Amino acid sequence: MSMMQYQPYETEDGRTIGNTLMEMKNITLRFGGVVAIKDISFDIREGEIRAIIGPNGAGKSSMLNVVSGFYNPQEGEVWFRGEKRPQMRPFEVARLGIARTFQNIALFDGMSVLDNIMTGRLNFMKSTFVDQAIWWGKAEREETANRQKAEEIIDFLEIQAIRKTPVGRLPYGLKKRVELARALVAEPKLLLLDEPMAGMNVEEKEDMSRFILDVNDEFGTTIALIEHDMGVVMDISDRVVVMDYGKKIGDGTPDEVRSNQEVIDAYLGVAHD
């Protein structure tokens, strides 16, 4: 059975939401006797910002790890770009065009911002060890093209001033921006963001929200994110899926989720009418 297809539509701000890019079908994930995800299905459509929310322990990060190939579910199917995805390791999933950031920053503190970002281009580096050793021909052209892409992302995220700074010296908010840059330089079709606003102050959240919207608008990148800041989620998301204790309890537009009584009771904590 193939993925569901929808009629593309245009959002109020002029972005186009297209057909299904990824579909999670009846996903169940267990760790021993613990069920982290129980029979969850949802889709991610081309061009949208898709949020996954829920209280701590709901299974959100486990779901993101299924999408990115860190976990393989015991039951269910993952479909991507019209094809059922076989069991894959994370680097194989990355080659399909799926990049991610992490809840806990995963950068190389001793390396410069530019060098950290360049590690996101590994899948584009095809020259042999000998080519690289003599730095000639193909290796030189490859290095130039990869560096040019990294510089474009540095400009886009407004981090030119710190491009040569070791990441370990940066404040937390800028480290999160560098991690976003490393994911973007991989030119993903689907970008996964695991709590991109965690630990940020109000100004840093505003900056990150703006960059996420710009990535979606200017690059056309489909984005799936986990985020606890409900103000951010409701402002920037096209659709929201809500998890609680490994189950899906809501799925729809921000307005639909906001008015879903089961979601209110389990997570949002708004008083009953």
- Structural domain boundaries of the chain? 1-97+188-273, 109-181
Contact by Cβ (8 Å): 52, 243: yes
**Confidence label for 106 from pLDDT (cuts 50, 70 and 90):** confident
Strand order of the β-sheet with 98-100 is 98-100, 190-194, 222-226, 49-53, 239-244, 247-252
- What is the mean pLDDT of the segment spanning 99-104? 83
Contact by Cβ (8 Å): 52, 60: yes
Within 8 A by CB and 6+ apart from 244, the residues are: 54, 55, 58, 266, 267
**Confidence label for 109 from pLDDT (cuts 50, 70 and 90):** confident
Which CATH superfamily hosts domain 1-97+188-273? P-loop containing nucleotide triphosphate hydrolases (3.40.50.300)
Contact by Cβ (8 Å): 5, 23: no
Contact by Cβ (8 Å): 100, 68: yes
Of 8-12, 133-137, 153-157, 183-187, which range is least confident?
133-137
Q: Is the pLDDT of residue 184 over 60?
A: yes
Give the H/E segment covering residue 180. helix 172-184
Q: Is the pLDDT of residue 270 over 90?
A: no
- Look at 130 and 90; give whichever has higher pLDDT: 90
Q: Is the pLDDT of residue 131 over 60?
A: no
Of 6-15, 90-99, 159-168, 206-215, which range is least confident?
6-15
pLDDT tens digits for 33-43? 899 999 999 99
Query: What region does 269 belong to: left with phi over 0, alpha with psi -120 to 50, or beta?
Result: left
**What are the b/e assignments for 114-151, b being 16+ CB within 10 Å?**
bebbbebbeeeeebeeebeeeeeeebeebbeebeebbe
pLDDT of residue 267: 76
Tokens of 142: 């490859």
- Averaged pLDDT score across all residues of the chain: 87
β pairing state of 49-53 and 222-226: parallel
